[in-house]
Amino acid sequence: MNINKFALSSIVVVALLSACASNSTNNNTSNADSNNTAETVASNQLNLRNDAPQSYVVKSGDTLWSISAKFLNSPWQWKSLWKANPNIKNPHRIYPGDSLQLVNGQLSIKSRSQGIQTVKLSPGVRQLPIDLGIPVVSYQLVESTLTRSIITDAKTIANAPYVLANEDSAIQGVTNKRIYIKGAVQAGAVYDVFRQYQAHKNIGIEIVRVGQVTVERAKDGNAAPSSAFITILDYSGVLVGDILIPKSKDSGIPNLYFYPEPAPRGMRATIISAPRTLNAVGSGQTILINKGSADGVKPGFAFVAESRVRTATDPRTGQRITLPSEAVGTIMVYKTFEHASYALVMTSPDPIYIGTTVSAPKDAR
């Protein structure tokens, strides 16, 4: 099913970061040896890639994860890389055009001044500084799940107003057509239309937004049904039985300005769902794991996905032996609920299946 994408290109990053690192060097051999030793130690501690660039100019569309992956074998250790350099006060305030330079295992930044950009704000125009920098992952990759899938409970669904019928008794309601609603709504109010996707034991019910409506007429209680016009359609159509939830007051744009870091040592979870997919996912897709904020999970936590349980028959004894699990990809949490979290598949050379166990990376503390 096709999903409409929000136009996020209007978010322009124009703020400044002034951070320069100065190093004094001497030409004698002892200092050179000392520098080489320091670089070796730093590289070992940070697990730098052998092909890490000595300098990199940030480009539009870069994320903290993608930049970190250029320097580190473990991109979730980005925090350690920048924290070693006191010049980098906030790693998100790195902007397209900035130059990152790797010296002795530390990053220094040379910022390119962008100034203040004129941003058109209806009905007028005013100067607006936008200080966003770069997010940890791409909005375009996660936008559809973040704004269209949530975890709720049976009581919320039971008490929500719902679609009683579509205009002309159509099976599916489409844009600019009416729907008729049973339950309490407010005239002129905007509601998101959700459909139940999957129930998860001890976690809640996953529901997916299928469209948005504006209420035309609101009737009281169990009187004649209220009516609304469908203004946005995310899927093929609105169905009878879909529920209505008041549109969120915020913009729906998630906070992706957190730091990637390894999940705490010993933390494990299971992939229980992959919105709008069958049973396997790949890089760039969203999955749901069965651990959330109440379990200590935070946005930015990186996990390693483990291979399925595999066995082999011992050719001498005939005994079935369980083989050790192997890493089949990495995921990073970007939105948490009480006992579940959405995560993005960051790397996946092979398919990752529903039911896969994810665990803290080996270099977790």
CATH number for the domain that contains residue 85: 3.10.350.10
Number of H helices, E strands in the chain: 5, 23
d(CA 133, CA 55): 19
Cα-based distances in Å from 351 to 46, 144, 273, 284: 28, 21, 14, 12
The last residue of a domain, from among 221, 246, 271: 246
CB-based contact 112:57 (threshold 8 Å) = no
What is the per-residue pLDDT across 257-289, written as a single tens digit (0 to 9) for each?
777 889 999 999 999 998 766 688 988 888 999
- Tell which wins on pLDDT, 78 or 59: 59
> Quick one: 237 and 275 in the same domain?
no
pTM: 0.69
The encoded tokens of residue 225 equal 């049904």
In eight-state DSSP terms, residue 75 is G
CB-based contact 340:203 (threshold 8 Å) = yes
Range in 24-33, 239-248, 333-342 the model is least confident about? 24-33
What is the per-residue pLDDT across 11-57, written as a single tens digit (0 to 9) for each?
222 222 222 233 333 333 334 343 433 333 333 456 788 888 888 88
What is the total count of domains within the chain? 3
What is the per-residue pLDDT across 310-324, written as a single tens digit (0 to 9) for each?
899 999 999 999 998
d(CA 291, CA 269): 6
Secondary structure element (H or E) that encloses residue 209, with its range: strand 204-217
What is the per-residue pLDDT across 66-93, written as a single tens digit (0 to 9) for each?
888 888 888 877 666 665 555 555 655 6
Note whether residue 342 is domain-resident.
yes
| Residue owning tokens 């999970």 | 297
Note whether residue 8 is domain-resident.
no
> Quick one: 282 and 355 in the same domain?
yes
Half-sphere exposure of 120 (CA within 13 A, CB side): 3
> Quick one: 168 and 222 in the same domain?
yes
d(CA 156, CA 120): 39
Note whether residue 78 is domain-resident.
yes
Determine the length of the chain: 365
d(CA 73, CA 77): 9
Work out the percent of the chain whose per-residue pLDDT is above 70. 70
> For residue 346, what is the domain's CATH number?
2.40.10.410
Coil, strand, or helix at residue 321? strand
CA-CA-CA-CA torsion for 203, 204, 205, 211, nearest 10 degrees? -110
d(CA 275, CA 201): 17
Of the candidates 338, 345, 163, the residue with the CA atom closest to the CA atom of residue 238: 163
d(CA 24, CA 360): 40
> Quick one: 209 and 272 in the same domain?
no
User: Is pLDDT of 152 > 60?
Assistant: yes
- In a 10 Å sphere around its CB, with 0-12 CB exposed, 13-18 middle and 19+ buried, how is residue 47 labelled? middle
Question: Residue 82's domain spans which residues?
Answer: 55-101
d(CA 194, CA 156): 12
Report the 10 Å Cβ neighbour count for 297. Answer: 23
The last residue of a domain, from among 216, 246, 276: 246
CA-CA-CA-CA torsion for 221, 224, 228, 230, nearest 10 degrees? 110
Note whether residue 195 is domain-resident.
yes
